[in-house]
């Protein structure tokens, strides 16, 4: 492999690399993790959610189980809408988002 190809080769990173070696900017205050098991500790007792909190996030929305892409996308969409509308804290916005997704799923014929 030539020098240009080596320079262009992408290095794979995982979630811990993102937390422990962030770009030269601060961690956002609220981090929604739309993925499975992001609140579950790994073999060393560390979860991705805890790592974000330890590195400066004020709040993390994470999961303790598997979630579908559709569920995660809808949850985060409702969460952002609730936060953007203002007048609520992250815990209330998360609870409202979960209820909205459940309501939407109960009334949608395609689920």
Instruction: Categorize the per-residue pLDDT at 92 as very low, low, confident or very high, splitting at 50, 70 and 90.
Output: very high
User: Structure pTM?
Assistant: 0.71
Task: Note the pLDDT of residue 93.
Answer: 94
User: Based on the number of CB atoms within 10 Å of its own CB, is 79 exposed (0-12), middle (13-18) or buried (19 or more)?
Assistant: buried
Range of lowest pLDDT (15-19, 43-47, 80-84, 98-102): 15-19
Task: Note the pLDDT of residue 75.
Answer: 94
User: Based on the number of CB atoms within 10 Å of its own CB, is 66 exposed (0-12), middle (13-18) or buried (19 or more)?
Assistant: exposed
Task: Note the pLDDT of residue 44.
Answer: 78
Instruction: Categorize the per-residue pLDDT at 3 as very low, low, confident or very high, splitting at 50, 70 and 90.
Output: low
């Amino acid at each position: 492999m030539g020098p240009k190809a080596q320079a262009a080769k992408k290095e794979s990173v995982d979630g811990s690399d993102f937390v422990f070696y962030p770009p030269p900017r601060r961690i956002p205050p609220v981090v929604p993790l739309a993925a499975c098991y992001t609140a579950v500790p790994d073999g060393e007792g560390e979860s991705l959610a805890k790592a974000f909190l330890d590195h400066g996030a004020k709040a993390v929305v994470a999961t303790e189980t598997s979630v579908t892409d559709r569920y995660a996308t809808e949850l985060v969409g409702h969460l952002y809408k609730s936060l953007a509308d203002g007048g609520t804290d992250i815990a209330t916005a998360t609870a409202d988002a979960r209820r909205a997704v459940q309501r939407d799923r109960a009334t949608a014929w395609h689920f």
